[in-house]
Amino acid sequence: MGNVGPNPSGLQIEALLSVSPSKFTEPRMVRRVSSSSSATELDPLRGCLNLLLYYNQACEDDSGWLHAGWIKESLGRALLDQPLFCGRLRLLQSTTTPTDHHDYEKRLEIVSNDGGIRLIEARMPLTLSQFLDSKTKEEAETELVFWKDIDREYANFCPLFYLQVTNFECGGYSFGISCSLLLADLLFKENFLKRWAEIHNNMICSSNDVASDKSPIFYLPAFKRDGSGSSSVPNVFSTNSPSKKSGQTMIFNVKNSDSEPPDNYYYSSLALLCVEKAESKNCETNNNNNNNQMDLDYFSLFVTEPENNIKVEKCSKFGIVKPKPLSLESKNKITCSSWDEIEAHKVEFRQGNPPRHVSNWIGSVSGQIVIAAPFSENGISETKIIVTIPYY
């Protein structure tokens, strides 16, 4: 889980950097966060989307240390397209003081203040094959991503995006992305991962064309080490929140009706249909799985609204009355999708070296989570529904 010092698998944190856009973000982008539920019922600040990509060593000069060095520059350029990833939460300006948590939630926003994402470099004393073949891989994978829950009292200081690059003994490495659920939909927009990988690849190719030093400026092995093998990173990691896998996640695509403009009621009804579909689809699988899943009466819904704002609400499965057109027509328009749609399995940070394995999950949450992200492509309006059904 990224804690400093030895742990059951021996993961060691070696370095911590901040990565901000390569240019000052102007004008500042803002995403307002509203919630219809009090903090006692729902906490929209909790939870993260995790994406983990494993890579074999492509050549003798290839390593996670090298990639982490180039990430400082390549990700800085990619963030010019999505500066909210390195933004921070803040309380909206008001002439009155919020009287309870409910008011507090309604007046939050994310601002692209270039606060930076956190880049962690780590070392794993196993080969990549040993790790992937381990019977405890499902649990151990949470150590390859870093996440620290947003502190409600000091939310304006908390990163919303973490990236952990872990080096294995064989020369293989992994990229572990952890992103707040309040920004998770942005990973699907404009193919952020593909754009970032293209920038990264170009930097590596350019460095290979130069006869001089091929190493990036921020290259950890180039710095003197004390040889003790222990982490030199401060104990800020000791308060890391475990990014435990919360359950099975499924993705659906829905073509929106031209005659029925989407609204909050539409999305909540649509979310319920997808939850029912996910529960039904996984029922047989769960009977043969030790990680049995829960059948809950409520789910938390994250909806991307117009002007890129996001609303979070707690929905009762019994409180949503599905109108007949939606319950019949939308079922036929719902198609099962997968994480493959963001083409993570094709993301090559070194040309010709696709991921050996990809894992995805929702972490650090309890209960059912549904993310509804509307988008348009080629003039067609659709909604992507991400459903997580929790384990016991």
**Closest alpha carbon to 110 in 86, 89, 131, 92:** 89
Q: How confident is the model at residue 331 (pLDDT cuts 50, 70, 90)?
A: low
CA distance 160 to 84: 9
| Coil, helix or strand at residue 272 | helix
Residue 101 has pLDDT above 90, yes or no: no
User: Mean pLDDT, to the nearest integer, of 347-368?
Assistant: 88
CA distance 387 to 383: 13
Encode pLDDT of 195-223 as tens digits. Answer: 999 999 999 888 765 544 567 878 787 67
378: left (phi over 0), alpha (psi -120 to 50) or beta: left
CATH code linked to domain 12-244+340-362? 3.30.559.10
| Coil, helix or strand at residue 314 | strand
Q: How confident is the model at residue 5 (pLDDT cuts 50, 70, 90)?
A: very low
Can you give the residue ranges of every domain in the chain?
12-244+340-362, 250-337
Q: What is the mean pLDDT of the chain?
A: 79
Residue 3 has pLDDT above 50, yes or no: no
Ordered alpha helix ranges (H), 177-323:
192-208, 264-287
b/e burial code for range 201-233 (CB count within 10 A of at least 16 → b):
bebbeebeeeeeeeebebbbeeeeeeeeeebeb
Q: How confident is the model at residue 320 (pLDDT cuts 50, 70, 90)?
A: low
pLDDT value at residue 364: 74
pTM equals: 0.85
Where do we find the tokens 């803002």? 30
CA distance 31 to 183: 9
